[in-house]
């Protein structure tokens, strides 16, 4: 056994769990997963326990693990609280409690003085109409729970769309957010360990299509030190308030008045995949370091420019990617399906011209 080997349990067995394990094995750790089936991306990388009517599989994972983490903010808060009675779970239940419910998340931002869009709780059609009157249009209606990659959202541009919006989200609890006029979408990834040490990655620029992240540019260009510092201050408030251990991601809008928070994720994040080749320590390795009590790694970029392109729906000509210099292919062992994240391509470059040349070669994967 290595000097600091730990057995890490992961609630979930998707691509994030897969990449966590791939980052953790060189450190001497062992991994187990609790997922839906043995066909999931992480299933072959550790002890696999499947969700079924027999709760013994979950207990087997808990007994296996020295520490447990999770892939999704939709993980049950009660489940994490129960496991925490015998085995540490990082990030903790507070991080899940706030991040998996949009109203609680927005209230937290407001309480900590982190700017966000004006918002209102909506529980029925009449409340939606009142919220539109209060907040104005355009506005975005979002379910309070379980929305991701554009799901559970409707942009209301005119009053005659109110009823359609309410039907489209399933007539369920939601929040209406005022539309933010922004220059671009950014995100920042931070890591905190149990010793209250913090590290921050540089802000990155994200480009979405139909609600799904398609391209990340890292670091975001033309970011002055004051904006980076503002983002880090937002993150420190959130990390300390939630006593968060591990990676935390905050999506932001860059506006004329500064940074406005959109939403957060208490986990490794798609907009941080560039760090696998683009940063001195990847987000995955730093998450594992944080939850296993190891020193946090450096977050500086390895080269001046990097990018991440998602592979969505179809794999495409991946052999062409393998022929590209300074391009790195990551496939998740998933079957093709419309809108599904099948993998990603990382690119590093020494100049903006070199980066743009590479992205032009990858245009088939971008809308």
Domain ranges of the chain: 7-89, 118-178, 184-365
The pLDDT of residue 343 is 98
Residue with tokens 């129960």: 82
The pLDDT of residue 55 is 65
- How many C-alpha atoms does 160 have within 13 Å on its Cβ side? 0
Return the H-helix or E-strand segment holding 19.
helix 15-24
Residue ranges of the chain with per-residue pLDDT less than 50:
53
> For residue 342, how far is the Cα from the chain centroid?
16
Homologous superfamily of domain range 184-365:
ATP-grasp fold, B domain (3.30.470.20)
Domain topology for 118-178: Dna Ligase; domain 1 (3.30.1490)
Decide which of 1.10.30.50, 3.40.50.20, 3.40.50.300, 3.40.50.2300 is the CATH code for 7-89.
3.40.50.20
Instruction: Report the C-alpha gap between 71 and 27 in whole angstroms.
Output: 20
The pLDDT of residue 366 is 95
Residue 84, both tokens: 């925490």
The pLDDT of residue 56 is 76
The pLDDT of residue 146 is 80
The pLDDT of residue 149 is 59
Q: Evaluate whether 70 touches 10 at the Cβ level (below 8 Å).
A: yes
State the CB neighbour count (10 A cutoff) for residue 318.
14
């Amino acid at each position: 056994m290595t000097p600091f080997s730990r057995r890490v349990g992961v609630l979930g067995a998707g691509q994030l769990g897969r990449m966590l394990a791939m980052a953790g094995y060189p450190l001497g750790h062992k991994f187990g997963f609790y997922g839906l089936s043995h066909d999931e991306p992480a299933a072959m990388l550790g002890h696999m326990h499947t969700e079924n009517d027999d709760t013994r599989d979950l207990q087997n994972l808990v007994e296996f693990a020295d520490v447990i983490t999770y892939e999704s903010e939709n993980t049950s808060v009660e489940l994490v609280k129960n496991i925490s009675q015998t085995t540490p779970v990082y990030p903790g239940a507070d991080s899940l409690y706030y991040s998996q419910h949009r109203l609680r998340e927005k209230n937290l931002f407001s309480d900590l003085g982190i700017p966000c869009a004006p918002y209102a709780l909506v529980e029925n059609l009449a409340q939606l109409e009142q919220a539109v009157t209060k907040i104005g249009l355009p506005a975005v209606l979002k379910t309070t729970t379980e929305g991701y990659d554009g799901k559970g959202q409707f942009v209301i541009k005119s009053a005659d769309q109110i009823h359609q919006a309410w039907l489209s989200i399933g007539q369920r609890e939601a929040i209406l957010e005022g539309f933010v006029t922004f220059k671009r979408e950014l995100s920042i990834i931070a890591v905190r360990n149990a010793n209250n040490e913090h590290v921050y990655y540089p802000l990155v620029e994200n480009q979405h299509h139909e609600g799904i992240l398609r391209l990340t540019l890292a670091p975001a260009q033309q970011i002055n030190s004051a904006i980076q510092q503002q983002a880090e201050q937002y993150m420190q408030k959130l990390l300390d308030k939630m006593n968060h251990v591990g990676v935390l991601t905050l999506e932001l809008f860059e506006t004329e008045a500064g940074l406005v928070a959109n939403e957060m994720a208490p986990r490794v994040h798609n907009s941080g995949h560039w760090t696998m080749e683009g940063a001195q320590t990847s987000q995955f390795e730093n998450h594992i370091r944080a939850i296993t009590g190891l020193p946090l790694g450096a977050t500086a970029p390895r080269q001046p420019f990097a990018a991440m392109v998602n592979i969505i729906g179809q794999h495409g000509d991946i052999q062409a990617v393998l022929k590209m210099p300074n391009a790195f292919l990551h496939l998740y062992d998933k079957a093709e399906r419309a809108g599904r994240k099948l993998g990603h391509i990382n690119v590093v470059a020494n100049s903006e011209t070199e980066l743009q040349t590479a992205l032009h070669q990858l245009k088939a994967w971008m809308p």
